């Protein structure tokens, strides 16, 4: 099934939010599709959590509209919306047991005791906590609390599950494990997941689509690969991974493409798709990812080569990061090289040839 064929689950129409004089959301317009794993990514204070809370109903918007499954959400309180949330602090009720926590949302459904136990058991099974129902909530580890929060939110079978930085409190190993489990869980239940995160790697790993937010606006909304390969601004490029920038001049723009002259690299012809952003007015530059360039060793040749000097070497075991200053440029660029057995790691001050490819270049104007 192609993504475009999926119906719309959430729609933001020119959403604004003010806190007094502070303009927290500045005209958000976007759609999130049903069954999608969608991420809101951005630095702290960019409005991503505020936007998530407008879906949950914890924040009233100042103007615009939020639609869930085709219905206007204005005036619909949080306890009447078809959404459930996993909180950053997990918000596990400390005075209740695991089963009482998970079954909390079913209190109003007035189920029989057997039916309730059955549903709670299923939910616990789904998150891998079978048999822990009688445990006191405060006796759980961080990862277990996370799972209880998930089970508690999913037991009501919401149309949308909202996740507010759910993995930020876990250590690295646990976080990576939970990322995979969350993806599997989302495929299994088929519910729309909306994740708020400041961790670009997490967003890339987990999401079908990502909205990158800065200062209350969506800077770019795209699938992870497009976001990584064709960022539409230097800011997005900088936030998602590492990108090298070199000052550039646009020589001509025609049918066959855009001709650019970049410092240290020389002239190149770029496809219009390599310039996805609008003009910023701060001068143009070209950018490329560290892994798209490579250093040439004796006997190796490439179509496009540039000369430079190694200024810094960072050895990571499987990888080495080199900071190389190309001749005729002011700031070094970063190149990541996979270490190959038998090949020496270069030293600071060494002269080197750098191979690059025009296809990997992104033009920012």
Partner 1 sequence: MKGGGFRIYALAYLIFLYAPIILLPLFAFNEGTVIAFPLTGFSTKWFVAAANQPTLWLAVKNSLIIAASASVISTALGVFAARASTRYHFPGKGGVMGLIMLPLVLPEIIVAVSLLVVLLGLGINLSIVTVILGHVLICTPFTIAILTSAFQSLDRSLEEAAYDLGETGISTFRLIILPLVMPGIISSLLISFTISLDEFIIAFFLAGTQPTLPIYIFSQFRFPQAVPVIMALGTVLVACSIVLLASAEYFRRRGLARSGAKDTGGFL
Give the residues lining the site for partner 1 (CB under 8 A). 56, 58, 77-79, 83-85, 87-89, 91, 93-95, 104-105, 107-108, 136-139, 152-153, 156
Nearest 5°: phi and psi at 183?
-60, -45
At closest approach, how far in Å is the CB of 178 from partner 1? 19
Which residue is associated with the tokens 């690299």? 265
Identify the residue whose tokens are 């059955």.
118
Is the CB of 116 or the CB of 346 nearer to partner 1?
116
CB of 96: closest distance to partner 1 in angstroms? 9
Q: Which is nearer to partner 1, 159 or 234 (CB)?
A: 159
Are β-strands 8-19 and 22-33 bridged in parallel, bridged antiparallel, or unpaired? antiparallel
- Residue 130 or 138 with smaller CB distance to partner 1: 138
Q: Which string of DSSP letters, residue by residue, matches 282-350?
A: S--EEEE-GGGSEEE-TT---SSEEEEEEEEEEE-SSEEEEEEEETT-SS-EEEEEE--TTPPPP-TT-
* Minimum separation from the CB atom of position 31 to partner 1 (A): 23
Task: Of 16, 34, 33, give the one whose Cα is nearest residue 25.
Answer: 16
Q: Judged by CB, which is closer to partner 1: 152, or 289?
A: 152
Report in angstroms how near the CB of residue 115 gets to partner 1 at its nearest.
17
* Tokens representing residue 28 in the block: 């958000």
Separation between Cα atoms, residue 149 and residue 163, nearest integer Å = 10
Residue for token pair 């800011």: 235
**Closest separation in Å from C-beta 35 to partner 1:** 21
CB of 162 to partner 1, least distance (A): 9
Minimal distance, residue 212 CB to partner 1, in Å: 25
Closer to partner 1 by CB, 145 or 289: give it. 145
Cβ 350 to partner 1 shortest distance, Å: 54
Q: How far apart are CA 31 and CA 157, in angstroms?
A: 21
Taking each continuous run of H as one helix and of E as one strand, the counts in the chain are 8, 20
| Cβ-contact 302, 352 below 8 angstroms | no
DSSP character at residue 344: P
Rank residues 150 and 204 by Cβ distance to partner 1 and give the closer one: 150
137, 92 contact by CB (below 8 A):
yes
Q: By C-beta, is 153 or 268 nearer to partner 1?
A: 153
The nearer residue to partner 1, 49 or 200, going by C-beta atoms, is: 49
77-82-87-92 Cα dihedral, nearest 10 degrees: 90
Q: Is 218 exposed, middle or buried (0-12, 13-18, 19+ CB in 10 A)?
A: buried
326 forms beta bridges with 308
């Amino acid at each position: 099934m192609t993504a475009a064929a999926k119906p719309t689950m959430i729609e933001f129409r020119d959403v604004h939010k003010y806190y007094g004089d502070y303009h927290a959301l500045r005209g958000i317009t976007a759609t999130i599709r049903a069954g999608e794993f969608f991420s809101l990514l951005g630095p702290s204070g960019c409005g991503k959590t505020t936007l998530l809370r407008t879906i949950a109903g914890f924040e009233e918007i100042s103007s615009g509209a939020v639609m869930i499954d085709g219905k206007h959400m204005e005036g619909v309180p949080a306890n009447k919306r078809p959404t459930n949330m996993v909180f950053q602090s997990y918000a596990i009720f400390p005075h209740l047991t695991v089963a009482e926590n998970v079954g909390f949302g079913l209190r109003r459904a007035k189920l029989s005791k057997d039916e309730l136990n059955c549903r709670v058991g299923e939910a616990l099974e789904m998150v891998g906590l079978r048999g822990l129902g009688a445990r006191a909530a405060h006796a759980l580890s961080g990862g277990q609390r996370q799972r209880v929060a998930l089970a508690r939110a999913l037991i009501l079978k919401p149309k949308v599950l909202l996740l507010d930085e759910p993995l930020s409190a876990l250590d690295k190993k646990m976080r990576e494990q939970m990322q995979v489990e969350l993806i599997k869980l989302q495929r299994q239940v088929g519910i729309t997941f909306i994740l708020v995160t400041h961790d670009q790697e997490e967003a890339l790993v987990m999401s079908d689509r990502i909205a990158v937010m800065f200062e209350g606006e969506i800077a770019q909304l795209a699938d992870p690969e497009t976001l990584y390969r064709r960022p539409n601004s230097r800011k997005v490029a900088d936030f998602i991974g590492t990108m090298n920038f070199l000052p550039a001049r646009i020589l001509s723009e025609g049918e066959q493409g855009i001709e650019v002259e970049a410092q240290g690299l020389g002239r190149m012809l770029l496809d219009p798709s390599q310039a996805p952003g609008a003009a910023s007015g701060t001068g143009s530059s070209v950018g490329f990812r560290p892994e798209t360039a490579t250093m040439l060793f004796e006997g190796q040749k490439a179509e496009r080569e540039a000369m430079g000097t190694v200024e810094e070497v960072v050895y990571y075991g499987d990888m080495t990061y080199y900071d190389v200053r190309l001749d005729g440029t002011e700031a070094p660029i970063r190149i990541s090289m996979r270490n190959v057995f038998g090949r020496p790691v270069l030293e600071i001050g060494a002269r080197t040839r750098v191979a690059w490819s025009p296809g990997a270049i992104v033009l920012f104007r």
